[in-house]
Amino acid sequence: MREARTFITGVVAVALAAGVAAAEPKKPPAIDQQAIAALCRMGAFLMAQQNFIVRTTTETDYVADNGQLLRRGARGELEARRPNRLHAKVVSDRKEREFFYDGDTFTVFSPNLGYYSRIDAPPTIGALADTLEARFGLALPLVDLFRWGVPNPDFSEIEAARYVGTATIDGVLTDQYAFRQEGVDWQIWIERGSRPLPRKLVLTTTDDPTRPEHEINMSWQLNTRTDDARFSFVPPQGSSLIAVEELGTPSAPDARKSGERSARR
């Protein structure tokens, strides 16, 4: 079963190729710089937040073997304290995962199965995200929150960007923007005013004829204060440590049976 893309890889671009015939009316540019500027402003604000909690509800389309779209929901909560503390929990009808990062170790825990995987971790959330993707093919929940706003962002993958208009999300006035890049169309709703936070994100997979979608709604709590224990994992009684599979490393049969593949998601 295939699923809609759940995070953005590479965000944005710069120009439309020239070459319109002189007799044709001039077309508006594919890249609206207002949309690019909004992403930059949002990213800079996110990078400035040292302590925050974001709560999410998500709806994801899955493509069944017969091509029918099936939609599943989930809810989550992510708490971060820059530069090196993170705790996240994601719960759906079919699985539950918790993620712990205390600056030294990163742990993925499956409460329903009673398994956890642990690795030594680099000293920042950003470096952790890179390590997990490169070594294990694992994405942190809401990983783009830690990618937006990095110095010298690469906007080269965006083929189209435009401002759509205003919208109200959970009583909050937002600006809606639409972007297009190879294989995915995505829209983002950014809170207006002094807190340019992402409030909603919709991704549509365009290189699949069924065009599955992934929708995330976000609510925010800034300037949070949490004890260090929140970010450290203490194995519950009866839980078992399993190895996390690195990319390019064959899995042992008993490791597959233990649910290690789920731990990598």
The average pLDDT across 132-143 equals 95
The average pLDDT across 2-10 equals 49
23 vs 115, more confident: 115
The pLDDT mean for the chain works out to: 86
Confidence of residue 256 (pLDDT cuts 50, 70, 90): very low
pLDDT for 250: 46
The average pLDDT across 166-186 equals 97
pLDDT for 48: 97
Q: 104, 110 in Cβ contact below 8 A?
A: no
Number of structural domains found in the chain: 1
Q: What is the CATH number of the domain that holds 181?
A: 2.50.20.10
pLDDT for 254: 37
Assigned domain for 163 exists? yes
- Separation CA 99–CA 49 (nearest Å): 20
- Separation CA 232–CA 227 (nearest Å): 10
User: What φ, ψ does residue 181 adopt, rounded to 5°?
Assistant: -145, 170
User: What φ, ψ does residue 188 adopt, rounded to 5°?
Assistant: -140, 140
pLDDT for 120: 97
Give every CB contact of residue 93 below 8 A, 6+ residues apart in sequence. 72, 73, 74
Confidence of residue 14 (pLDDT cuts 50, 70, 90): very low
Assigned domain for 19 exists? no
Assigned domain for 24 exists? no
Least confident among 117-131, 144-158, 196-210: 144-158
Q: Does the pTM exceed 0.85?
A: no
Assigned domain for 22 exists? no
Assigned domain for 250 exists? yes
The average pLDDT across 207-215 equals 94
* Peptide bond connecting 153 to the previous residue in cis, omega within 30 degrees of 0: no
The average pLDDT across 177-184 equals 97
Q: What percent of the chain has pLDDT over 70?
A: 82
Q: Does 253 score more than 50 pLDDT?
A: no
Tens of pLDDT along 233-248?
999 999 999 998 887 6
DSSP class of 33: H
Label residue 189 exposed, middle or buried (CB < 10 Å: 0-12, 13-18, 19+): buried
| Domain carrying residue 153 | 2-14+30-263
- Separation CA 129–CA 99 (nearest Å): 12
250 vs 126, more confident: 126
Q: Does 133 score more than 60 pLDDT?
A: yes
DSSP 52-69: EEEEEEEEEEEE-TTS-E
Assigned domain for 25 exists? no
Assigned domain for 151 exists? yes
Assigned domain for 21 exists? no
Q: Does 26 score more than 60 pLDDT?
A: no
Size of the chain, expressed as the number of residues it contains = 265
